[in-house]
Structure 1
């Protein structure tokens, strides 16, 4: 099993086990990571699983889909490495991934 670290806006780190094949929104919700709600159930129809991928990991997460790009435009600010957690599937290559959480979801 892989590991993912979610970093709160205040710097608190939460390292969790991440089953290969699950998306990051599911992993966060299943581990009670505060601030990741996943209101749409992973359909890229909301931005309640918005995360900022640590720059060292961003290229490994793949490209944003058109639907993801569209949802991210609703955020007041979009970091260059912003993603929707529901659109990133956990792989062995992502073992050790670091994600930063926003102050609040929209």
Structure 2
């Protein structure tokens, strides 16, 4: 189980515990966190679960694969080095304390 902080574009914070094995996107969906739409349900076929990863966490996350990189081309205002798709971030104890910020909107 990992505590993850989701920060809405307007600044509202949501700290939730997410079970290991789920994705950061599923943690948002299961806890009704606004700002992550996840239209494709986690298939990495859209960019509606896009977030900006807190700079302290960028190097701690697994590298993104080519599919995620391609999908980020469709995200709203991606930030090189910080943008990730939450459907591609699998939760483990190593992610305890992760902080992600939502963009102004999803596409």
Aligned mates of 1:88, 1:60 — CA distance in 2: 11
Residue equivalent to 1:91: 92
Give the paired residue count: 106
Deviation at 1:48, TM superposition (A): 0.8
2:72 corresponds to 1:72: yes
Residue equivalent to 1:19: 19
Deviation at 1:77, TM superposition (A): 2.2
Aligned mates of 1:48, 1:76 — CA distance in 2: 9
TM-score by length of 1: 0.95
Runs of 4+ in 1 over 3 A off after TM superposition: none
2:48 corresponds to 1:48: yes
Q: Which runs of 5+ in 2 are unaligned?
A: none
- Structure 2 contact 50–75 (Cα < 8 Å) conserved: no
Deviation at 1:51, TM superposition (A): 0.6
Q: Which runs of 5+ in 1 are unaligned?
A: none
Deviation at 1:75, TM superposition (A): 2.5
- Say what the alpha-carbon RMSD is for the aligned residues: 1.0
